[in-house]
Structure 1
Amino acid sequence: MRIAIRVKPGASRTRVGGTYGADGAHAALVVAVSERAVDGKATEAALKALAEALGVPRRDVRLVSGVTSRDKVAEIPDPPAGTRERLNALRAG
């Protein structure tokens, strides 16, 4: 399962939810993190927050593209049952 995310570094608190960009299934999931975009800290924090929000171990979430961009694609190769439903709930806000 691949998930488009939009990282918002420097937020007051970490939050996963809502969408950015196109409507529907193609919209990016917003992941706000308190870490700044320095030395990959915001990216790592975003992947950790995404894993926690979806209820999967961090080691199961890998970055596919967007190392230096706010727009990233993460992948969960073998998502457990219910992951898609959690993702849809997070996108709803």
Structure 2
Amino acid sequence: MRVSVKVKPGSKKGPLVETDEDGSLIVFLRERAVDGAANEALVKTLAKHFETRSANITIESGHSSRLKRVRIEE
């Protein structure tokens, strides 16, 4: 499954996953986008949300962007 994700790093609401009107996910993270910390937190948060292992989640595009395409393997 592929999902579009809007990441909000440095948020006080995080970690939190919400669904946007267009079907994409909005993920609020406490970690800042420094040295890949936000990407690591994103993978862990999505793994918990979808009840799967972190190894099953891959960021396909948008490594340095707030808009990302993520692949989730079941």
The alignment's TM-score, normalised by the length of structure 1, stands at 0.73
Distance 2:51 2:58 in 1: 15
* Percent of aligned positions that are identical: 37
Shift of 1:58: 0.6
Residue 31 of structure 1 is matched in structure 2 by: 27
Of Structure 1 and Structure 2, which has the larger fraction of its residues in helix?
A: 1
Query: Which structure 1 segments of 5+ residues have no match?
Result: 80-93
Aligned 1:1-93 pairs, distance under 5 A: 1-12=1-12, 13-19=14-20, 23-24=21-22, 27-77=23-73, 79=74
Q: Secondary structure at the match of 2:48?
A: helix
The answer to whether the 8 A contact 1:7-1:43 is kept is: no
Query: Which structure 2 segments of 5+ residues have no match?
Result: none
Runs of 4+ that moved beyond 2 A:
none
Q: Which amino acid aligns with 1:9?
A: P
Q: Which amino acid aligns with 2:25?
A: L
Q: Which digits, 9 at most, give the CA deviation of each residue in 1:28-83, with x for residues without a partner?
A: 20011000011111111011101100111111001100000000011023x2xxxx
Shift of 1:16: 0.7
Task: Give the number of aligned pairs.
Answer: 73
Of Structure 1 and Structure 2, which has the larger fraction of its residues in strand?
A: 2
Q: Which amino acid aligns with 2:2?
A: R
The Cα RMSD (Å) is: 1.2
Shift of 1:18: 2.6
Q: Which digits, 9 at most, give the CA deviation of each residue in 1:1-25, with x for residues without a partner?
A: 1011000000113101131xxx44x
Q: Secondary structure at the match of 1:64?
A: strand
